[in-house]
Amino acid sequence: MSKYIIDGSFPINGTITASGNKNAALPCIAACLLTDEEVVLKNLPDIEDVGVMLGILSELGADVTAEGGGTYRVKTLDIKGSEIPPEQARAIRASILLAGPLLARTGKVILPPPGGDVIGRRRLDTHFAAFNELGVRVEVDGVYKLIANKLVGVDIFLDEASVTATENVIMAAVLASGRSIIRNAASEPHVQDLCNMLNLMGAGISGIGSNILYIDGVKKLHGTEFSIGSDFMEVGSYIGLAAVTRGELTIKKAAPEHLRMTRLAFGKLGIHWETSGDDIFIPKGQDLKVVPDLGGMIPKIDDAPWPGFPPDLTSIMTVVATQVEGTILIHEKMFESRMFFVDKLIGMGARIILCDPHRAVVSGPARLRASYLISPDVRAGMAMVIAALCAEGQSVIANVYQIERGYENLCVRLQSLGARVQRVDS
């Protein structure tokens, strides 16, 4: 198990380029199964989850070729079987995204329960209810067995705006007979990336970026070349890191059009940045103070489906708030176990009251002390890295596999910015 050894209290400085969006890369990789022609994916991030997903495609019969620089060629002339390898399914939650393409291409899929971050109950009911409306028979007996003699377009209302359920239904519906309408659809930038890629492959999807998608099924999709968009979760993490270490940072290809709500949230903590084209610049020496609501009331940062504040950044904002003067409420509405990592921050000296599984009141600034930490999931792990980099002394973070599932070459990139981080294999 690898670990990071981090010496804190040193500002970061420099320039980085945003990585490809993990949450766009995974469904786009799955979508390669929808055609027997070659698909070229560019700007895939060099992270564990992408490697696992490409490995699953290889197991299913895809020919996967790395071209270097985040470019891969994928061609699936024939699909070998319809069962996702159990060990790989457990390694990554995105294995569920293979259900839609396999149903569309073969009419059958056997899916072991998917793995992923332990951040609360992550129900699959929305996926299966929508599949059922498209004509899929669902059987549950230790594994999920899905069978479809024919996929038929239908008007579907999702019971929650689930990103992965929306993506799964899209991938099944593009090869269904007739028109499908997906209402209460997720509309995050990664969902938009998937839709745009599928349209380049010959799909008929309209309403992209809205909560109602119209999909006119086609008989066949062809190959294409597609570049994954920038990871706004990674960008948000680096913004927070620069601010709390009192550093100065330029992030290239930051896709500022996807940071509007994130900008409002950081603004509540006195954190600002400048935009130049597709790049952003976070200046050093910002006055980190909570901006009260009207009447001097305590403000809050709360997550919501897009275009609301991204839930994956609530862990980051919690640790950032510990270094800001004033009090703020962090309200994580969507996952009931995501906030439990704050006990580690409290142990480092953070002043946080965990009100319940969803709400934490943070008062700052607090002098954080170095500690031994274990990363529980991707985003909480990155939050711990940020905490260690602004803490006094040397911290150790174990189980960094969880962090590296979502952050590309993190140790090397932090070192390039002057952070004192070492990765040790043990």
Say what the pLDDT of residue 117 is: 42
pLDDT tens digits, residue range 136-188? Answer: 998 888 788 999 999 999 999 999 999 999 999 999 999 999 999 999 999 99
Say what the pLDDT of residue 118 is: 40
Q: Higher confidence at residue 367 or residue 48?
A: 367
Mean pLDDT value across residues 380-402:
95
pLDDT tens digits, residue range 333-359? Answer: 877 778 889 999 999 999 999 999 899
Window from 41-45, 109-113, 204-208 with minimum mean pLDDT: 109-113
State the average pLDDT for the chain: 93
pLDDT tens digits, residue range 260-298? Answer: 999 999 999 999 999 999 999 999 989 999 999 999 999
Say what the pLDDT of residue 115 is: 59
117 is catalytic: yes
CB neighbours of residue 63 within 10 Å: 12
pLDDT at 189 exceeding the cut of 80: yes
Q: What number of H helices and E strands is found in the chain?
A: 14, 23
Kindly name the residue from 7, 49, 63, 117 that is annotated as catalytic: 117
Say what the pLDDT of residue 140 is: 85
pLDDT at 385 exceeding the cut of 80: yes
pLDDT tens digits, residue range 92-134? Answer: 878 899 999 999 999 999 988 775 444 334 578 899 999 999 9
Q: Domains in the chain, start-ordered, CATH in brackets?
A: 2-19+230-303+310-425 (3.65.10.10), 22-226 (3.65.10.10)
Total residues belonging to the chain: 426
Q: What are phi and psi of 48, to 5 degrees?
A: -60, -45
pLDDT at 90 exceeding the cut of 70: yes
Distance CA 226, CA 365 (A): 44
* Assigned token pair, 52: 């696992």
What confidence tier does 394 reach under pLDDT thresholds 50, 70, 90? Answer: very high
User: How far is Cα of residue 50 from the mean position of the Cα atoms in its chain?
Assistant: 12
